[in-house]
Amino acid sequence: MKEINQQTTIRGIDNLFITTDDDTLKISLKKSHEYQPIELITIIHFLLTHLQSKSKFELLTNIKTEELELVQKQFYDYYILVCCLLFKRNLTIRNSENNFLYTEDLYKKIIEKLKSQDELYARELNSNHIKELKTRFFSKSNKLKNSEGLSFVIPCFDHLADISLDRSNYFHNSLRPKGPKDIAVWFERLFSFNDIKISLPHMFYDLSIVINELMQNTFDWARTTYDDEDFIKPNIRACAVNIFLQDKIKLKDSSYDYIQDYLKQIFTTEKSKIRSTNGEIELDLENEKIAICEISILDTGPGMARRWLKRDYNNISFEDEGIAVIECFHKYFTSDRSSRSQLRGRGLSNVINIIGRSGFIRVRTGHVLIQRNFFKNNIQQEELQNSNLVFDHTNNNLPKINGTTISILYPFIYAQLP
């Protein structure tokens, strides 16, 4: 029986292979806000891949019987279970006493909670609504406010259109114009609710463009099979946003990987270099600290290479798959002749332009993993103009994962208001 425990690394999950005979996985869960950068979305992506391919699968969790009520009330602390349960309704989940955790009542209550949260996204918030939102999600009496309130996932379950969970009002709201401006408003509220002031004035809008571009790509490209013949069911597209304040990051001295290397560089550099790298306007913040914003966009669609090449994996070599994934990032470079022509290239190119100043990108799709530390290796415009984007690390021969996760890390300076 395979296991994901508290010590399992992202690299370990990337290399974890579940055979056709494995129908049980033991997983030691943490609350959503307790995961380090890119950990949460990596685990969700791994689990959904195997739920998609198996008719029978069982999760053995460390959740205690008395915690079942918390799963219902504080569903945002258990996004892994929420995504898995709504992705495959007949999933078997057991608690630490080996009793069934899943109930029909739990399924219905989670749907109610998601709809209630989504309804708040649709509102033009006035002072009363903001007060309600603070009470429900960012209570002043909650000592863990800055941990719990700065981590959330927006899922779209394309196969649940009949219960209106296929599109989130966060991204699709008929009452307001669709686009990054709406998302930027939510970024600002996220920080203001938690009494955080930042010294990077354009970050809200810039990162909202990143979210908008990547989520739009999933809507256009990740809902159908690689040949556009059929809709994929079940299918989830999701955006995870995590704000890691300085005290929340755990640097591992004994561990070396590309994510840890990036974090160590950010948190050991002079703050002035982060400001100048990002082109910040200088603000004199007292007790200023460094923080990281993670944006991860997940889909369980056909995968970038299959969509790009319009061929199944058994007709794509590992080398060609890696090349195809990188080609997806090149501006105006696409093999699609439809009305959606050039959309993917343009969107991913815009993302690189924004984060190429000091961010980090990690892409996991199919058998491929690519990563680049832009703080160490700034983007050069010639790379995009000449369709010659280079990544620091590529691996084209990992166990296959369905769909795609694109994860962005971006640094900023903040101060906690009194």
Helices (H), 31-97: 39-53, 68-73, 79-87
Q: Taking CA 327 as the corner, what is the angle to CA 326 and CA 331, rounded to the nearest 5 degrees? A: 115
Tell me: the pLDDT tens digits for 2-44?
A: 999 988 999 999 999 888 888 899 999 998 889 999 999 999 9
Neighbours of 230 (CB within 10 A): 9
Tell me: the pLDDT tens digits for 205-216?
A: 888 888 888 998
Q: Quote the number of domains for the chain.
A: 1
Give the Cα separation of 309 and 303 in Å (integer).
10
Domain of residue 129: give its range.
2-416
Tell me: the pLDDT tens digits for 116-175?
A: 877 766 665 556 666 666 565 555 455 444 445 577 888 999 999 999 899 887 777 666
The least confident of 170-179, 370-379, 390-399 is 170-179
Neighbours of 289 (CB within 10 A): 15
Q: Taking CA 7 as the corner, what is the angle to CA 4 and CA 9, rounded to the nearest 5 degrees? A: 75
First to last CA, the chain: 49
Tell me: the pLDDT tens digits for 307-317?
A: 999 999 999 99
Tell me: the pLDDT tens digits for 244-283?
A: 988 888 887 766 689 999 999 999 887 777 755 555 545 5
pLDDT recorded at residue 65: 80
pLDDT of residue 287 exceeding 90:
no
Q: Which amino acid is at 113?
A: K
Give the Cα separation of 35 and 40 in Å (integer).
6
